[in-house]
Structure 1
Amino acid sequence: MKWKKIGKILIIDDKVRDLSSKDLNQLLIKHDVYTIAKVKNISGKMRQPEIEILAGNRTETIHKENGCFFKLDISKVMWSKGNTTERMRIANLVGDGETIVDMFAGIGYFSIPIAIHANPKKIFSIELNPDSYYYLKENIILNKINNKLKNKNNDSNIIEPILGDSNKVAPKLSADRILMGYVKTTHNFLDSAIECINKGGIIHYHETVPEKLMNDRPIARIKNAACGRDIEILNNKIIKKYSPGVVHIVVDAKIY
């Protein structure tokens, strides 16, 4: 049986059928959780989950990953456990004093690890979903981000959460590094990212793409959005399989 544990909640594969009350009680005890659920679907630009509760009734939990704490409600916001390595990879790439724009911040998936494990000057964390924005702010407090970092950087708000549309917000900002950790329609935000990125800055662009096109289509989209600015592809890697024949990739592109 496929499953993943998010804090004190066990998420089991939607294809699993006919679990008895005895089975569910055994799973509660075995995995030390208070809720068992299925995620039926995640839909729309708000990335809203549709869940089915099989046991228990609490949907809010605190998950620990890479030394970071994430409070979330699985009935309101998504959690992608498969991106764990990528979140830490980005945190390790960030240089001292960088200004970061996280265009799809969610509950702080990338912003929180960067603040904890790197030494940024500022992180602008943009999120459209009010529920995710709420938990983003909660996680900044939970991890004591701004309190622990303000003396090091002389700034009481290392992470600045912004509720809004990245296409409207990002062009008003300037960044040394831009995170585009979203899929399906991410290419619609590339123009705004190019407007935002400083010369010599790096964009981490995510896309779901047929595997046979992964070395062509994402890069072509970045070049098209760059409007004549020189680009250097630093990395193009698969994060995970998305569906049969389709992969979730990230391209690291330096923009001059």
Structure 2
Amino acid sequence: MYGVIRVPSEKGEEFRRKTVEKKILDTSRKIRKLQTKEGVFLEIPVTEAAGENIEGFPVIEQENPEFSRKPCSIKKYLKDSLSEAELACVPAGWQILGDVIIVSIPETLENKKVKIAEALLSMYPRCRTVVRDFGIEGQFRQPKRELLLGSGTETIHKEHGCFFKQDVTKVMYSKGNLEERKRMSRLGGEEVVVDMFAGIGYFSIPMAVYSRPKKIIGIEINPESFAYLKENIRLNKVEKIYIPICGDCSKAAPEGIADRVLMGYVGTTHHYLEPAIKALKKSGGILHYHETVPEHLARTRPQERIRRAAYALGRKVEILETRRIKKYSPGVLHVVVDARIFE
């Protein structure tokens, strides 16, 4: 049986999110719009694990289901354009943000980069632009990227029910941080939160949308990222609780008001530990501290840096958890340490 729930179109996104969260969305089939005498409905395909109904909407059998077409291998698209040696160097993966494809192409395929971009757009018809990625650079960790095909690099990426408007040539967005963004969406309810390195709202927008803190203060020094942060606050309709500040968080961070402080930046994050700890209430609060660290030091160096900064301010520390976010580079991990800071 190919089961679906049929919901009014205005409830479509709400129930699509619910099926994703419950892990019962059948991604092999398309969500389909249906016009009936009673109105416009969406048929959301679900797996057999869904049971007989989802929050009052019965699971019914779908007639003539439409299956999502999985793109075939990029090498199949390129087999007539590249030699065997060149095909062996074709990238095996890429990132899609909104309707923009981001791909790393080795220098050996410099003269085939447009062919590769054309193949990717053929594989993903809903996308309109392909950019080549060369990594990140500078204090603001800005991406170095080349437009290969398409006319626009600004897009709106939807993730976990949140909207992130961005220009992929100006700001970074790491797919490897997805689980941490989801985790943040479950924290901070009824709290005052300070996001020291807000960016375009990577961690604090999901928190604002789902946990509804009393207030979030997001600080971002990069003017381009800050402009998108303000736009994303509006897109996600959290203007009433989210206060954006453009500036250096070591100077712009408030003192003594936060229940929770986010430090979702890597590179020189430890230099900002003291202002982050000062932002927490005197009675105590939670710090989420990110760091890139050699693997053999992942359970010691970040924690010691937090303790050293806290002790210098006459505060105590309880390390709650150290979580691995992803592998940052060979032998180096991106980790986040959750710590309770108190008197």
- TM-score, reference length from structure 1: 0.91
The alpha-carbon distance between structure 1 residues 159 and 173, as it changes in their structure 2 partners (threshold 3 A), is: farther
Question: Is 1:232 equivalent to 2:232 in the alignment?
Answer: no
Structure-1 separation of matches of 2:93 and 2:269: 29
Tell me how far apart the structure 2 counterparts of residues 88 and 235 of structure 1 sit (CA, whole Å): 17
- Rounded to whole Å, the distance in 1 between the matches of 2:181 and 2:330 is 24
Cα deviation 1:74-109 (Å, max 9, x = unaligned):
111111111111011022122x31000000000011
Deviation at 1:112, TM superposition (A): 0.9
- Number of residue pairs matched by the alignment: 245
- Is it true that 1:41 corresponds to 2:135 in the alignment? yes
Q: Any conservation in 1 of the 2:165–2:231 contact (CA below 8 Å)?
A: yes
Q: For 2:118 and 2:105, how far apart are their aligned partners in 1? A: 18
Moved more, 179-188 or 192-201: 192-201
CA distance in 1, matches of 2:269, 2:280: 16
From the superposition, tell whether residues 170 and 109 of structure 1 become closer, same or farther in structure 2 (CA, over 3 Å): same
Cα displacement (A) at 1:46: 1.5
Identify the match of residue 130 of structure 1 among 223, 245, 249. 223
Matches of 1:82 and 1:24, distance apart in 2: 23
Taking a change above 3 Å as real, the CA distance of residues 245 and 22 of structure 1, as seen in their structure-2 partners, is: closer
Match of 1:184 in 2: 267
Gaps of 5+ in 2: 1-91
Q: Residues 114-171 of structure 1, C-alpha deviation per residue, up to 9 Å, x if partnerless?
A: 111102000000000000000001111111222xxxxxxxxxx310000000000114
Q: Which residue of 1 aligns with 2:247?
A: 164
SS at match of 2:106: coil
Match of 1:77 in 2: 171
1:101 maps to what in 2? 194
1:59 matched to 2:157? The reply is no
State the alpha-carbon separation in 2 of the partners of residues 158 and 14 from structure 1.
42
Counterpart amino acid of 1:131? E
> Kindly tell me: are residues 46 and 23 of structure 1, through their superposed partners in 2, closer, same or farther at Cα, counting changes over 3 Å?
closer
Query: 1:25 corresponds to which residue?
Result: 118
- C-alpha contact 2:319 2:340 (8 A) present in aligned 1: yes
| Helix, strand or coil at the partner of 1:93 | coil
State the distance in 2 between where 1:15 and 1:140 align. Answer: 37
Question: Which letter maps to 2:193?
Answer: I
DSSP 3-state at the match of 1:27: helix
Match of 2:266, SS? Answer: coil
Distance 2:231 2:256 in 1: 24
1:86 equivalent to 2:180? Answer yes
2:33 alignment counterpart:
none
What residue is the counterpart of 2:101 in the other structure? 10
Partner in structure 1 of residue 236 of structure 2: 143
Percent of paired sites with the same residue: 53
Q: Which has the higher contact order (CA 8 A, sep 6+)?
A: 1
Shift of 1:3: 0.4
**Structure 1: gaps (5+ residues):** 147-156
Question: 1:21 offset after TM fit, Å?
Answer: 4.2
Q: After TM superposition, give the deviation of residue 70 of structure 1 in Å.
A: 0.6
Instruction: Please say if residues 255 and 280 of structure 2, whose CA atoms lie closer than 8 Å, have aligned partners that are also in contact.
Output: no
What residue is the counterpart of 2:56 in the other structure?
A: none
- The whole-number CA distance in structure 2 between the counterparts of 1:82 and 1:51 is 19
Rounded to whole Å, the distance in 2 between the matches of 1:120 and 1:58 is: 35
| Residue deviations 1:162-182 (CA, integer Å, cap 9, x gap) | 000000011446210000000
Q: Tell which deviates more after alignment, 202-211 or 107-116.
A: 107-116
> Which of 162, 182, 191 matches 1:68?
162
The match for 1:153 is: none
Shift of 1:60: 0.2
Partner of 2:300 in structure 1? 216
Q: What secondary structure is seen at the aligned counterpart in 1 of 2:265?
A: coil
Aligned to 1:196: 279
* Distance in 2, Cα, partners of 1:22 & 1:50: 21
After TM superposition, give the deviation of residue 34 of structure 1 in Å. Answer: 0.9
Q: Does residue 1:247 correspond to 2:333, yes or no?
A: yes
Greater alpha carbon shift after TM alignment, 172-181 vs 23-32: 23-32
Q: Is the 8 A contact 2:187 2:207 kept in 1?
A: no
Call closer, same or farther: CA 1:171–1:66 in 2, change over 3 Å: same
